[in-house]
Amino acid sequence: MSNKTIAKFVGLVISIIVVAVVAMSCSQAAPGDPTKVSSAELSAEWGKPSIVGRIESKDVKESSGLAASRCQPNVFWTHNDSGDDAYIFAMDETGKDLGTFEVANAQNEDWEDIAAYKDADGTCYLYIGDTGNNKLERPELRIYRVKEPTISSSGSSSEERDEKGDRDGKDERDAPSTEPAQVMSFKYQDTPHNSETLMVNQQTGDVYVLTKRLDGPSLVFKLKPSFGSSQPVIAEKVGEVSVPSVPNGLLTGGDISPDGKRVILCDYSGGYELLATSPTFDDVWKTKPVAVDLGERKHGEAIAFAADGKAIFGTNEGKRAEIFEVKLK
């Protein structure tokens, strides 16, 4: 065997070993695994996590997104992952059921995240990201914008609907409808991606979608809100985020603080913060993420800042899922 042939053989073996190591790393990052960071790398600005309640609604089985209302004190919104219809669920910080609403003019093909936004006139909206694309077969994705429903003391809870016999074990929720949602269809500027993170910058109104990847950093795309457009909006890539975990781009949720100075991201088990120190917000994607202790998350996909930005809230998936809180020191 010639030296050239031996060199080719050795190179092939090394390539196989590298692929195997990468595959093992990915398999180690399955839902429920702890974040691979040391305590020395944790942010010193946030306190210890605490469990403050559980999601009361029996209809919330896979809390996939979370948003704190900008108009109604102590009201949070969540939704289920794919497999549910177009419903959003209101609750307080302890998980108390405040009502279920059906989003008019919307379909839940694969809802992955939700964000809150208050416009210059003081009207509050919820943005819902129908951005799941696991098989990369969806060339166009959707974001819905709906006026936030008002919670009333007589809101129908899941327990009340059961007592009335409206459910009977079937998906027949006697839920009021929201105002018709506005729709923004969009395409990525390069190729289809899967995403579970939708964020809205309260200061600029810009919408951000971050991809979920096993093979590299998360890609950050920005969209100018153009709801009702007859043509798909093109999502422009403005950065990448590599979190201190394995894999480093498997993001499942995120939020921008109301003052636009902080970004919180999460994967299945860990949290990561980026600080916006430049007048140009998109410079934040060039900063190094710092880990935030979120406690023992088993399968977390939803995370959000409190309405005042002084705490982080998150959920796990599953029935009666825990709600955790991390306070700013």
pLDDT of residue 224: 96
pLDDT of residue 49: 96
pLDDT of residue 17: 35
pLDDT of residue 298: 78
Residues 124 and 90 sit within 8 Å (Cβ to Cβ): no
pTM, two decimal places:
0.85
Q: Write the CATH number for 71.
A: 2.120.10
Residues 13 and 150 in one domain: no
- Residue 303 corresponds to which tokens in the numbers above? 């995370």
pLDDT of residue 22: 37
Residues 16 and 148 in one domain: no
Residues 147 and 283 in one domain: yes
pLDDT of residue 313: 98
Residues 102 and 185 in one domain: yes
Residues 4 and 106 in one domain: no
Using DSSP's 3-state secondary structure scheme, residue 185 falls into strand
**Whole-angstrom distance, CA of residue 119 vs CA of residue 124:** 6
Residues 18 and 37 in one domain: no
Residues 16 and 164 in one domain: no
Cis ω for the linkage preceding 247 (within 30 of 0): yes
- Residue 237 corresponds to which tokens in the numbers above? 């890539």
Q: Which helix (H) or strand (E) holds 254?
A: strand 253-256
Show the domain range for 8: 1-30
Closest CA to 48 of 299, 311, 254, 264: 311
**Whole-angstrom distance, CA of residue 89 vs CA of residue 318:** 15
pLDDT of residue 36: 52
Tens of pLDDT along the chain (329 residues) come to 544 443 444 344 334 333 343 333 333 344 444 445 444 578 999 999 999 999 999 999 999 999 999 999 999 999 998 889 999 999 999 999 999 999 999 999 999 999 999 999 999 999 999 999 999 999 999 999 999 999 986 555 444 444 444 444 445 568 999 999 999 999 999 999 999 999 999 999 999 999 999 999 999 999 999 999 999 999 999 999 999 999 999 999 999 999 999 999 999 989 999 999 999 999 999 999 999 999 888 789 999 999 999 999 999 888 999 999 999 99
Count of structural domains within the chain:
2
pLDDT of residue 24: 37
**Whole-angstrom distance, CA of residue 88 vs CA of residue 80:** 8
Residues 212 and 271 in one domain: yes
Residues 204 and 240 in one domain: yes
Which residues fall within 8 angstroms of residue 169, CB to CB, at 6 or more apart?
A: none
Residues 7 and 57 in one domain: no
pLDDT of residue 297: 82
Residues 7 and 108 in one domain: no
Residues 82 and 217 in one domain: yes
Alpha-helical runs (H) found in the chain: 3-28, 158-164
